[in-house]
Structure 1
Amino acid sequence: MLGVRIAVVATMMALSGPAFAQQPAASPPAPVDYSKVEIRTTDLGNNCYMLEGRGGNITVAVAADGIIMVDGEYAPLHDKIKAAIEAISKQPIKYLINTHFHGDHTGGNEAFAKDGVTIVSQVNVSTRLAAGTTNGLTGAKTPPAPQAALPSDTYTNFSKIRLQGRVADLKHIANAHTDGDTYVWFKTANVLSTGDTFTSGNYPYIDFANGGNIKGMIAATDAYLRLTNAKTRIVPGHGPLADKAALMEYRTMLITARDRMANLVKEGKSEDDVVAMKPFADLDAKWAGSELASKNFIRVVYHSLADKPPDTQRPLLKRIFRRS
């Protein structure tokens, strides 16, 4: 019964979750045949590995007494992912870190938790999974995740995971790809896992309806540039393995997009206006995989800068005045 429920939840996430690999579209994509998905493993050195399948990239860091895993793709790929990790090491998977809440990164939570793995995330990931979410571009709704799929260990700003000979630093970047992003820094291995705050060689999806903002995306790249050097192996949320030079190119693209869109918003342009103007046409050749990806990036950057942030202070002020 558990396997059926996992498959159903994963399928719904695949259709409605804002995964980079499937840009939001007017109609749902065809169901994925997970039986044909292959898990590719890249050795990053220092007992760290990058796994690529159908969803977000996975990072695997092997310690003397266990394994730390970053992101878990879709539920139907659990067995294939587990087999790929067992081919690397016979150590047990101790921790699975969610870099954010989207289904192409968290779909495997329930199955890995059943294996005894501790699921770790920034606290907003658990909140979003428990409540269900709505895609800001399409209106598609992702239902609440089952209790067993929720992270059992959450943090707010910073955390560490320690195994024998291995430390993972977890840091929250506020309002970047979502409102619950975590990057994972394996300092001694010189490996950085970014989640979808960095997508190598392609425009990112910025989930503005769930706390994402291009300003936070730029702040994330600034943090990564401070951490890394020319030899750092950077595992992006999607796309090929990257280095610091690729990250710098990505940051330049984000800043260019932000500055151009800020001027258009200041001029009072509407969302339809800016889509028609194609303000990032010169960037599309390198960063847009399709016309839809180009339009979606315009729209998410527009919303990042044009939408008013939620008023979180007013309820607090009301409570203060009532007390006085």
Structure 2
Amino acid sequence: MKTQQHFIDRRNFLSSVGVLAGAFMLSPKSVFAQSESPVTMIIGEAKKSPVVATKLRGNLTLLDGSGGNIILAAGKEGNLLVDAGIDVSKDKMKAQINAINQAPLQYLINTHWHFDHASGNEWVHQEGAKIIAHTNTRKRLSQTVRVDDWNYTFPPAPAGALPTTVFEKEHTLKFDGETIRLWHYAPAHTDSDISVYFPDADVLHVADTWWNGYYPFIDYNTGGSIAGMIKAANHNISVTTDKTLIVPGHGPVGDKKQLTAYRDMLVAINEKVIKLKKSGMSMKEVVAAKPTRDFDAQWGNFVIGPDFFTKLVYKGITV
């Protein structure tokens, strides 16, 4: 198992993001120009990618390599997962969990409905875990959902993959002597995003409201918006301290300083695109104007390239 500091410091493209990196060895522009959906590419890569365990704090371990960042909380009598990753990683996930703690799976918390965080729900449930999520996660998983920007239509999830405990705004869960706090954002990355806070370790999982070091994806088909992403980032900053370990949906584990830089980037680009769109420029013209130019070297080198992120921001602005 790697050390926490090694994981936090690594900025290598392949090692810091897990399965998504391998799926996007092509440039972001070329990937999104292909007829094949990035969803099928990511699932294919997950079949080959290892799942790597990294110690965080206390009884918490980060599992990296099956879609989004997953937290395993190892209790005396059972295990808890924050997100289930991609279902094709089942055997590798089981092996890592058993190597850390052979107790049964008791709980699974879904941070939102997306496949790279929740398609492993069914096997985790079959292992005995009770699934907890926001009510919109259950709603989305229960129906056919088209995500236009991924060129993919998701069928309804199997009955065993659906959360059985849902909540609207806040929820607490007693686990291994600790009270874990769940909190629902206003629509941000999707309309189902929640954060998960472990107070004893001071570790906050903010899921896909933060992509550490990368432009984020915004799912407009299921309620996401650039304004919501900024609001979520502001909330995350307000509830953390300089000592809080913050787990993003994608990218390396980070801190409040890095999260603040991410928020500032979102605000600056949003303001530039608002100004250009209000001037009457079309999406194509705004993309050509390169409003992300000042940030591309730091944030534009992963799945969501500068042009694609500009389109996402433009889409969310009403003038």
Report the equivalent of 1:11: none
1:285-323 per-position Cα deviation (integer Å, ceiling 9, x unaligned): 10011596212211111111138xxxxxxxxxxxxxxxx
Q: Alignment partner of 2:242: what SS?
A: coil
Conservation of the 8 A alpha-carbon contact between 1:63 and 1:166: no
2:220 is aligned with 1:208: yes
Q: Compute the displacement of 1:163 (Å).
A: 1.5
- Contact kept, 8 Å, 1:65 with 1:163, in 2: the verdict is no
Q: Which TM-score applies when normalising by structure 1?
A: 0.84
Match of 1:95 among 86, 102, 107: 107
Instruction: Give CA deviations for 1:263-303 in whole Å, capped at 9, x if unaligned.
Output: 12222222222122211011111001159621221111111
Which one of 256, 265, 274 corresponds to residue 268 of structure 2? 256
2-side partners of 1:132 and 1:174: how far apart? Answer: 22
Aligned-partner residue type, residue 124 of structure 1: N
Mapping 1:218-237, distance limit 5 Å: 218-237=230-249
CA distance in 1: counterparts of 2:303 and 2:99, whole angstroms: 39
Gaps in structure 2 of 5+ consecutive residues: 1-19
SS of match in other structure, 1:41: strand
Distance 2:117 2:304 in 1: 22
Equivalenced residues, count = 289
Quick check: which has more Rg, 1 or 2?
Answer: 1
Q: Distance in 2 between matches of 1:51 and 1:237?
A: 12
Q: State how 1:301-316 maps to structure 2 within 5 Å.
A: 301-306=313-318
2-structure distance, mates of 1:172, 1:35: 31
Instruction: Name the structure 2 match of 1:25.
Output: 32
The change in CA–CA distance for 1:60 and 1:270 in structure 2 (over 3 A counts) is same
Unmatched runs of 5 consecutive residues or more in structure 1: 1-18, 308-324
Letter in 2 for 1:39: V
Aligned AA for 2:32?
A
Tell me how large the CA RMSD over aligned residues is: 2.0
Give the structure 2 partner of residue 279 of structure 1. Answer: 291
* Structure 2 letter corresponding to 1:265: K
For the Cα contact (< 8 Å) 1:64–1:163, is it kept in 2? no
Structure-1 residue corresponding to 2:67:
55
Matching residue's letter, 1:284: D
Q: Distance in 2 between matches of 1:177 and 1:291?
A: 15
The 5-angstrom pairing of residues 285-304 of structure 1 reads 285-289=297-301, 293-304=305-316
Q: Distance in 2 between matches of 1:135 and 1:283?
A: 27
Q: Which amino acid aligns with 2:167?
A: Y
Q: Could you say which residue in structure 1 is the equivalent of 2:202?
A: 190
Q: Distance in 2 between matches of 1:143 and 1:271?
A: 31
Q: Distance in 2 between matches of 1:243 and 1:104?
A: 23
| CA deviation profile, 1:232-284 (whole Å, cap 9, x unmatched) | 11111011111111111111111111111121222222222212221101111
Deviates more, 1:186-195 or 1:79-88: 79-88
In 1, Cα distance between the equivalents of 2:167 and 2:304? 36
Q: Which residue of 2 aligns with 1:69?
A: 81
